[in-house]
Structure 1
Amino acid sequence: MQAIFLAIGNAAGTSGKSQAWFSQKKHERKKDELLRYLHQARHADEHGIAPIASMLPGIMTIRTPEGFPLFSIPGFLPVNLDPEFEKNSKLTVLHAPPQVALRAVENKGVRYEPPTEHLGTPLTDRSIANIAWLGLKYHGEMVIEAESMAANP
């Protein structure tokens, strides 16, 4: 994404219209939580030594018929319980698989938390895959805008 951003910035050239548009995009990247985080996480990954993501263990939770958790077992891998157990006990067994989670990153003493919103909209899916997809989508749309501007100076 950084390469796309830099290539578009270089292509903006000396045209006042394209420079103003790219300046707005740079401002947006600084202000938007998701874009800022992706930019800083790339920087931390490339120039730092701290990890930018962590592996979270899977978890098994057993809930009452009312939905209250009785107990949870972190790090527990899914197992096939006797199907009669859930049917007869009325307890619910939930398995959450292990997953990769983004970590806060630091650059020049400033801490950047994983994003909770993008372009003013709260993120309901904060998975690493969705964060990456939203970043790629934004940059893809930016390329389309730049191509349109080049075709209609």
Structure 2
Amino acid sequence: MNININTDDITQYSNLPVYPLVVELRAASDAIHKMSEISVGNFQLFEIEWQKFLQSIDRFWNKFKACFYDKKGWQTFESKIVQKRKKDQLLNYLSQARNVTEHTISPVVKDWKANLKATSLNGGVHLRWDPFDRHLLTVINRGQKYPPPQMHLGKPMSFYRAQYKNEPEPVVAAILAMEFYIEWMNKASEKFFPMYSEVQK
């Protein structure tokens, strides 16, 4: 059985041990889609969906650990993921950004500034503006600064941004995080619940 978190009625999988994890992945996926749909639209709504994503992916991580903690070999398996979460700029940033949104009122993303400029050209007007984006902000948690990630899994963020040219920075970061966690959830399911098939993004 394959589970598609984007299109399936996930309630039909409520008997699976990973169901609580799938619920959080669906919520995170929904937030990503809504951010993408909002695009250059209402920034406040975009910010709300970004915070929803951060909360859902954090709850996924906590439930992920709870789902497998009593399985033989889990501690060794978990240590690999924990190490990646700590060392990887993007994963660590998202964890800290979630903490900031949960415990402070500091913003973690800023709206697009077009910086519209008009110049005369051949009797007409030439307009220029900065490309659309909504940038992640440096977050401060317990006095420690965490700047927006420049690398993820050994590759520069520019590499990933090129693959999602029309998406703002938070959406790209969220997509990459989803890919990472789904991959490791599937690895864990295969190892500890081999009778169940993988989750699809």
TM-score by length of 1: 0.73
Does residue 142 of the first structure (1) align with residue 184 of the second (2)? yes
Does residue 42 of the first structure (1) align with residue 98 of the second (2)? yes
Within a 5 Å distance, the mapping from 1:1-40 to structure 2 comes to 1-40=57-96
- Among 109, 116, 133, which residue is 2:175 paired with? 133
Cα offset, 1:3, TM superposition: 1.3
Within a 5 Å distance, the mapping from 1:59-74 to structure 2 comes to 59-60=115-116, 73=117
Does residue 56 of the first structure (1) align with residue 112 of the second (2)? yes
Does residue 107 of the first structure (1) align with residue 149 of the second (2)? no
Aligned partner of residue 102 in structure 1, secondary structure: coil
Aligned partner of residue 55 in structure 1, secondary structure: coil
Aligned length: 129
- Aligned-partner Cα distance in 1 for 2:148–2:102: 17
Aligned partner of residue 106 in structure 1, secondary structure: strand
Alpha-carbon deviations, 1:112-136, whole Å to 9, x = none?
A: 0000000111111281211111011
- Aligned-partner Cα distance in 2 for 1:109–1:136: 28
Alpha-carbon deviations, 1:21-54, whole Å to 9, x = none?
A: 1121111101100000000001101111111111
Cα offset, 1:94, TM superposition: 4.5
What residue is the counterpart of 2:8 in the other structure?
Answer: none
- Aligned-partner Cα distance in 1 for 2:110–2:178: 21
> Where do 4+ consecutive residues of structure 1 move more than 6 Å?
none
- Could you list the runs of 5+ residues in structure 1 that have no partner in the other structure? 61-72, 77-84
Taking only aligned residues, the RMSD between alpha carbons, in angstroms, comes to 2.6
- Aligned-partner Cα distance in 1 for 2:143–2:172: 27
- Could you list the runs of 5+ residues in structure 2 that have no partner in the other structure? 1-56, 162-167, 196-201
Alpha-carbon deviations, 1:77-121, whole Å to 9, x = none?
A: xxxxxxxx6xx79xx864435532110001111000000000111
Paired amino acid for 2:66? N
Greater CA radius of gyration, 1 or 2?
A: 1
Larger mean Cα displacement after TM superposition, 41-50 or 7-16: 7-16
Pick the structure with more strand per residue.
Answer: 1
Larger mean Cα displacement after TM superposition, 93-102 or 1-10: 93-102
Pick the structure with more helix per residue.
Answer: 2
Paired amino acid for 1:141? E
Q: In 2, are the aligned partners of 1:18 and 1:149 still within 8 Å (CA)?
A: no
Aligned residues with identical type, % of pairs: 27
